[in-house]
Structure 1
């Protein structure tokens, strides 16, 4: 096998799953490699076109196959451990042999669309209220769009008021979270772009909805995880405005927005500790508000995270966004840190 050979990696240990997965993979006429040793997984997974995992290898694959399409499989009669599947960054999950045909179809779609790449997935979480996490998330999406990338901006915070307001799309037609039915599998980007509101500069926005009456809809972290995973092949960048209590596992980078203040830094420390414990890639964005009592070096010592960008206090921006939404032409002092964070994520 040369470096340029396309292959499917089977990373399963279950004796029922291995032959079924191998049969489906072989039908694509690609080279098939089966390994289970962690050292071999680390060697092969980064270059695989697709990786088929089970419960025994899911956690390890999540950290190594960052650019590969991952499929989680479980033996009959099931059920599928969806928590493990999400942690593995799997796009779809199948019960074998009952759903061998569906697995083959998914692998075949990979063959047809082999030039596509997974979206860069960035989560932005505020360590405290009013630090501008939503604004930064929107700015990152706007910078990606300005650099000719397709961007999906996801509002993952219940009772957020709606990112459509921030983006000036409150009157725009299109689906909001309560209207979205995820179903199973990969979401077609063209369908999503058609269904959701889009900004004039091409950002697709999945926003919370607003209502004056009680509704049964509740935005659950699982729905956000599934959306990030399912939409991953259709966009260049996915940016999630996430709550501290529901940071998606399926991220390439989590950005913790921390004010240069004691209480905000204390909260950021807990968030960074959680991200560190799960092995997530994260960085800190330092927000200077009206008064800053801590420096970037102070924040790094307190939180244990690296400060990748600093955002100054922009007095006029609050009124501008309140009246007309976040401007398409971002203030330079907001665009610069947003571009820095895009670069830190691998853009």
Structure 2
């Protein structure tokens, strides 16, 4: 049983036992915890719940007509609703009447929508102009800095570089138990944000890591499904999180979903002539999917190419020009990226500042 102190949960007030079992099953499929009450719940529980699911028998016996009307109230019936069910729905001002089991998918959707905090999250995608540009490293650094400064309540870094070896290696959590892309099962096109946070390995407080897998037997890692990518991004954004997508040099439907969903796409370009030439094609590809692009130029510049010249050539706003990070390779090999003062943190802070301004 729930208690009066429970708030922002899904409240179930169902008298009919078969209907109660069916709602429990649906809530489990949606990864949603239920606060079950068999008596009148009290006004605090009634008004504080994110969602209320009830049946006609409860409406008739619990004197709910005396309670204030509230949004996100759903009346469920076993089979098609009759006139008494519609009258009960009108008594409590229910938003919907769902006939179970036929409307199970609609109830799953309602559970997922009710999990949203009402605070809109943010998505940033980071792409590289060439292989080895450092997009994965910048993605990991941006996520670490965001978690450290609490840019959003939670941060999730999403690995879209299927052949990159796994962003969990960069963050030093490759041995930590938790869900990776090959383990993710998406039901009905939805993922519950709370279940996602609980299942992911944590690289730091408030930072979950959804990494690609590694095919150690020589096989090519599985493709990432665009529907699964969309479900993860929607769940995290709806929960008010920051999502950092490592697109790197990936192309294809899953990468397109990341680019299209982003509030900001950052293109990382090494300060070399050939990289700038490649970046022109990459920027055009990204621009066909998202016009909210910005640029970071990374040194060294062996030919003296200046960041402003790169920005002019690409027609993109320049967020930062940073030199090479000293000692980075050794840090990555020994213990993972971690947080340190230096050019990489400067670049990550520039990304977050731009995202916050937008």
Question: Aligned partners of 1:258 and 1:216: how far apart in 2?
Answer: 27
Query: Is the deviation greater in 151-160 or in 233-242?
Result: 233-242
4+ residue stretches of structure 1 with deviation over 4 A?
99-110, 112-115
C-alpha spacing 1:209/1:230, structure 2 compared with 1 (3 Å):
same
For 2:193, which of 189, 194, 219 is the aligned residue? 189
Unaligned runs of 5+ in 1: 1-98
Decide whether the 8 Å contact of 1:187 with 1:234 is kept in 2: no
Unaligned runs of 5+ in 2: 1-101
Q: 1:312-332 CA distances to partner (integer Å, 9 max, x unpaired)?
A: 1112111111110011x3223
Pairing 1:247-326 to 2, within 5 Å after superposition: 247=256, 248=258, 249-289=260-300, 291=302, 293-326=304-337
1:339 and 2:349 equivalent? yes
C-alpha spacing 1:221/1:288, structure 2 compared with 1 (3 Å):
farther
The residue that corresponds to 1:147 in the other structure is 149
Pairing 1:1-347 to 2, within 5 Å after superposition: 106=109, 110=113, 112=114, 115-148=117-150, 149=152, 150-213=154-217, 214=219, 217-244=222-249, 245=251, 246-247=255-256, 248=258, 249-289=260-300, 291=302, 293-327=304-338, 329-346=339-356
Question: Aligned partners of 1:106 and 1:332: how far apart in 2?
Answer: 44
C-alpha spacing 1:302/1:100, structure 2 compared with 1 (3 Å):
farther
C-alpha spacing 1:102/1:184, structure 2 compared with 1 (3 Å):
closer
Q: Secondary structure at the match of 2:261?
A: coil
Residue 223 of structure 1: how far off its partner (Å): 3.6
Larger Cα-atom Rg: 2
Q: Secondary structure at the match of 2:182?
A: helix
C-alpha spacing 1:158/1:279, structure 2 compared with 1 (3 Å):
closer
TM-score, L = length of structure 1: 0.65
Q: Secondary structure at the match of 2:185?
A: coil
